[in-house]
């Protein structure tokens, strides 16, 4: 057992009265987790404290050079009253992989899981009850050394925030419209695309903004070198059902290794489907579309779980996929994953972790 000090709030906040207006990431619970790193001492002083502002030097290195990483997962209120996490060990493994890339000292993954469980249990009444709503969990690390020299920081903060969030699809599983980005790139091999770090998102804002201006919800990124191979979408990995294959781009170093992606691959293979990780060019997708072999396209990520793509635009070609409706593979994946996450189905893979 790890010793985690708990300072309870003296002024609990009112919980949102209308769960239908929750949205995403705007409300925070009563408590947060915090832990320090100092050179010579290592990671220390894990504690739960009331949610609130943190004192920070304006010279803190994260504010200038972007040395920071984050994670995203959810706690689910099960139909049986239990509170569940979905493969949280994978999040903490990836957190350490992001740390490695960004020169942040590694953390004890068992301590991260244990302390997260304690935080979620303490604020469990904040987990929304409405169907398909959840408690979004945001662990993150920032470099705090007050210094303007460019080098890895000597001090860090690890924190976890909890945010009650509404259903991703309030009006049902509507397919999204995305276009293939041809001007901007998000990441290159050898860069930081495989790390969950803010810089990748800063780099994507411009394209995202232009996409919204043209009434598309997101952009599909191509590789940064040849601008030919499919990478991913915003905060989602991509899958294409082409003929008898379900194809997703192989992890090349410039793509974020999604936990939903990994789970989808494992599910598809358990169903006996031909799930393939390989390079996939946009030309091949266009070709498959033209020959009638492109049956489905969908994104995968913690927020949406499965996000069917109903329209994909490349240059002047507008491809309508699956008649603009969700396809059978996407639907089965969505139903299976969400049933496991909310404790509505058996969990043959042991993905669910019970908090309380
Ligand atoms: C978080 C993220 C994903 C999805 O990962 P999940 O673990 O499935 O939530 C995909 N792409 C990017 C860039 C991300 O940051």
> pLDDT for 124-182, tens place per residue?
999 999 988 999 999 999 999 999 999 999 999 999 999 999 988 877 788 999 999 99
The rounded Å distance from CA 315 to ligand 1 centre is 26
Pocket test for ligand 1, best of 25, 192, 196, 259 (most atoms within 8 A of CB): 196
Q: What is the pLDDT of residue 20?
A: 84
pLDDT exceeds cutoff 70 at 53:
yes
Q: What is the pLDDT of residue 1?
A: 61
The rounded Å distance from CA 236 to ligand 1 centre is 5
The rounded Å distance from CA 84 to ligand 1 centre is 20
Q: What is the pLDDT of residue 170?
A: 77
- Residues in contact with ligand 1 by the CB-under-6-Å rule are 72, 196, 200, 232, 235-237, 256, 258-261, 300-302
The rounded Å distance from CA 163 to ligand 1 centre is 18
- Percent of residues, the chain, with pLDDT higher than 90: 94
Handedness of CA 203, 209, 214, 215 (dihedral sign): positive
Going from the C-alpha of 9 to that of each of 14, 26, 51, 128, 188, the distances in angstroms are 13, 19, 8, 20, 44
Is pLDDT larger for residue 2 or for residue 130? 130
The rounded Å distance from CA 58 to ligand 1 centre is 30
The rounded Å distance from CA 237 to ligand 1 centre is 7
Binning pLDDT at 50, 70 and 90, where does residue 230 land?
Answer: very high
For 254-264, what is the mean pLDDT?
98
For 19-43, what is the mean pLDDT?
95
pLDDT exceeds cutoff 90 at 258:
yes
Q: What is the pLDDT of residue 184?
A: 97
pLDDT exceeds cutoff 90 at 342:
yes
The rounded Å distance from CA 79 to ligand 1 centre is 26
236 CA closest ligand 1 atom index: 10
For 224-245, what is the mean pLDDT?
97
**pTM, to two decimals:** 0.97
Strands 155-165 and 42-50: unpaired
Pocket test for ligand 1, best of 92, 238, 256, 265 (most atoms within 8 A of CB): 256
End-to-end CA distance of the chain, in Å?
16
233 CA closest ligand 1 atom index: 11
Pocket test for ligand 1, best of 237, 248, 267 (most atoms within 8 A of CB): 237
262 CA closest ligand 1 atom index: 8
The rounded Å distance from CA 258 to ligand 1 centre is 5
In a 13 Å sphere around the CA of 344, the CA atoms on its Cβ side amount to 13
Q: How many Cβ atoms are within 10 Å of 142's Cβ, its own excluded?
A: 23
Binning pLDDT at 50, 70 and 90, where does residue 2 land?
Answer: confident
pLDDT exceeds cutoff 80 at 299:
yes
d(CA 349, CA 157): 33
Q: What is the pLDDT of residue 269?
A: 98
Q: What is the pLDDT of residue 109?
A: 98
Strands 352-354 and 294-301: unpaired
Mean per-residue pLDDT over the chain, rounded: 96
SS3 of the chain: the string is CCCCEECCCCCCCCCCCCHHHCCCCCCCCCEEEEEEEECCCEEEEEEEEECCCCCCCCCECHHHHCCEEECCEEEEECCCCCEEEECHHHHHHHHHHHHHHCCCCCCCHHHHHHHHHHHHHHCHHHCCCCCCCEEEEEEEEEECCECCCCCCCCEEEEEEEEEEECCCCCCCCCCEEEEECCCCCCCCCCCCCCCCCHHHHHCCHHHHHHHHHCCCCEEEEECCCCCCEEEEECCEEEEEEECCEEEEECCCCCCCCCHHHHHHHHHHHHCCCEEEEECCEHHHHHHHHHCCCEEEEEEEECCCEEEEEEEEEECCEEEECHHHCCCHHHHHHHHHHHHHHCCCCCCCCCCEEECC
For 277-301, what is the mean pLDDT?
98
Going from the C-alpha of 268 to that of each of 167, 242, 333, the distances in angstroms are 25, 14, 8
Q: What is the pLDDT of residue 173?
A: 86
The rounded Å distance from CA 264 to ligand 1 centre is 13
- Percent of residues, the chain, with pLDDT higher than 70: 100
Going from the C-alpha of 318 to that of each of 98, 209, 212, 223, 312, the distances in angstroms are 36, 20, 17, 21, 6
Do the beta carbons of residue 226 and residue 190 sit within 8 Å?
no
Protein residue with its CA nearest to atom 15 in ligand 1: 235
The rounded Å distance from CA 139 to ligand 1 centre is 14
Protein residue with its CA nearest to atom 12 in ligand 1: 235
Instruction: Convert 222-238 to b/e letters by CB count within 10 Å (16 or more is b).
Output: bbbeeeebbbbbbbbbb
Radius of gyration of the chain (CA): 21
Instruction: Convert 188-209 to b/e letters by CB count within 10 Å (16 or more is b).
Output: eeebbbbbbbbbbeebbeebbe
301 CA closest ligand 1 atom index: 8
């Amino acid at each position: 057992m790890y010793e985690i000090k708990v300072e309870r709030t003296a002024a609990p906040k009112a919980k949102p009265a209308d769960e239908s207006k929750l949205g995403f990431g705007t409300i925070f619970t009563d408590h947060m987790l915090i832990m320090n790193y100092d050179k010579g001492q290592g990671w220390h002083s894990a504690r739960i404290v009331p949610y609130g502002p943190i004192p920070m030097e304006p010279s803190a290195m994260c504010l200038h050079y972007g040395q920071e990483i984050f994670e995203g997962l959810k706690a689910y209120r099960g139909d049986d009253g239990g509170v569940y996490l979905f493969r949280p060990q994978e999040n903490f493994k990836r957190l350490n992989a992001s740390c490695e890339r960004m020169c942040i000292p590694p953390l004890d993954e068992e301590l991260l899981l244990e302390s997260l469980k304690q935080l979620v249990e303490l604020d469990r009444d904040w987990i929304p009850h409405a169907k398909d709503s959840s408690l979004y969990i945001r662990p993150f690390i920032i470099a705090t050394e007050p210094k303007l020299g460019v080098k890895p920081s000597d001090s860090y903060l690890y924190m976890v925030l909890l945010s009650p969030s509404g259903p991703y699809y309030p009006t049902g599983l509507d397919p999204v419209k995305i276009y293939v980005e041809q001007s901007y790139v998000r990441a290159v091999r050898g860069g930081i695309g495989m790390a969950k770090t803010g810089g990748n998102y800063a780099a994507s804002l411009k394209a995202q903004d232009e996409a919204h201006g043209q009434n598309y919800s997101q952009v599909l990124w191509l590789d940064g070198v040849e601008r030919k191979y499919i990478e991913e979408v915003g905060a989602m990995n991509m899958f294409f059902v082409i003929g008898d294959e379900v194809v997703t781009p192989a992890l090349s170093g410039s793509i974020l290794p999604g936990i939903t992606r990994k789970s989808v691959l494992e599910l598809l293979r358990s169903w006996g489907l031909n799930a393939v990780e390989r390079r996939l060019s946009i030309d091949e997708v266009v070709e498959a579309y033209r020959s009638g072999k492109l049956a489905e396209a969908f994104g995968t990520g913690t927020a949406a779980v499965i996000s069917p793509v109903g329209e994909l635009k490349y240059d002047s070609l507008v491809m309508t996929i699956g008649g603009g409706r969700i396809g059978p593979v996407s639907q089965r994946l969505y139903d299976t994953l969400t049933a496991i996450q909310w404790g509505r189905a058996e969990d043959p893979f042991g993905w669910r972790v019970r908090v309380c």
